[in-house]
Structure 1
Amino acid sequence: MSISLPVTGAKRRFVVEYPMNASPKILYPYLASAQGLSQWFCDDVRYEPDRRLNFIWDQQNHYAEQVSQRLNRSVRFVFLDERKQLVADASFLDFSLEASEITDEVFLRVTDYSDSMDEDELREMWDGLVGRLRDQVGG
């Protein structure tokens, strides 16, 4: 299921959910740690001072701050400007894990709030990334 809600300005909130064949305890480290994220999400992730992370794609640095987390449930990264400062209406990524007690299904919900991009391109990008994550966790 995918929901894309336009917002004011050039940013867009894109939400997509994926069924996962792994428990939240197995998935969470892949979503919330530099080591886990670097295995599926981008070329490399490095910890920086002051709870900041450096996400590296195509040899370009993208700094973010982890602003919230709930163990085995969710994590949010807010991206910083060129001076590594928080700004109003900043881009963010939110990963949430939902487990159904009735069916034992686990879903990964990705919320990508970023500069406007074609919804089909976003879906294709996230399908590929989550496919890599599934390869890592065996499901």
Structure 2
Amino acid sequence: MGKQKIDIEYPLAIKSPALIWEQIGSAHGLERWFADHVTEEDGIFTFTWGEPWTEQDVRVAHVIEAQKFDHIRLKWDEEDDDTYFEMRIAQSDLTHQLNLLITDFADDDDIDGLKILWESMLDRLHRASGL
């Protein structure tokens, strides 16, 4: 069974793609909302959830495509298929408001859980940065 593509659109309260890019395209920005600790070296991000004195979950993702102030697409190391996750800055043609478009993939039985996880992380993004 293959994974299904999930698209989430999150309206942003800011009009600067540069400020949004700082939150989605850098280790420092991602560490504010995506994971507890993030490092980046040569296009490889290491994400750590949990504190050093507790059990930690560490995952590595490679940047497979990035365009500054527009989008970043990453692929988890352990995924063997064509899946990825992407964060894209887009402007609404109707309202001219900036949105963060999330693309991710999940198995059929994990779709709702993944959507809830992204909504939680996007709420953390808003609280951490006001976006």
TM-score, normalising length from structure 2? Answer: 0.83
Q: CA deviation at 1:100?
A: 3.2
TM-superposed deviation, 1:56: 1.1
Structure 1 residue 123 displacement after superposition: 2.1
Gap runs ≥5 in structure 1: 1-8, 82-86
Task: Rate the CA distance shift 1:62–1:116 in 2: closer, same or farther, 3 A.
Answer: farther
Separation in structure 2 between the aligned mates of residue 26 and residue 127 of structure 1, nearest angstrom:
20
- Cα offsets for 1:16-72 (capped at 9, x unmatched): 101111132211111111111111011111124x42111112312211111111111
Judging changes above 3 Å, is the alpha-carbon distance between structure 1 residues 88 and 130 closer, same or farther for their aligned structure 2 residues? same
Matched, 1:66 2:58: no
In 2, the alpha carbon distance for the partners of 1:91 and 1:101 equals: 28
Identify which of 21, 39, 45 aligns with 1:53.
45
**Corresponding residue number in structure 1 for 2:74:** 77
Percent identity of paired positions between Structure 1 and Structure 2: 27
After TM superposition, give the deviation of residue 124 of structure 1 in Å: 1.7
Unaligned 5+ runs, structure 2: 51-55
> Structure 2 residue aligned with 1:30, among 23, 26, 29?
23
Sort the Cα spacing of 1:91 and 1:57 in 2 relative to 1 into closer, same or farther, 3 A.
farther
Name the one with the larger strand percent: 1
Single out whichever of 10-19 and 125-134 deviates more from structure 2: 10-19
* Corresponding residue number in structure 1 for 2:118: 126
Name the count of aligned residue pairs. Answer: 125
| 1:76-103 residue CA offsets vs partner (Å, 9 max, x unmatched) | 011113xxxxx64154210011113653
Displacement of 1:106? 0.8
Select the residue among 10, 16, 23 that pairs with 2:8. 16
1:117 deviation in Å? 4.4
- Aligned-residue offset at 1:120: 2.5
TM-score, with length taken from structure 1: 0.78
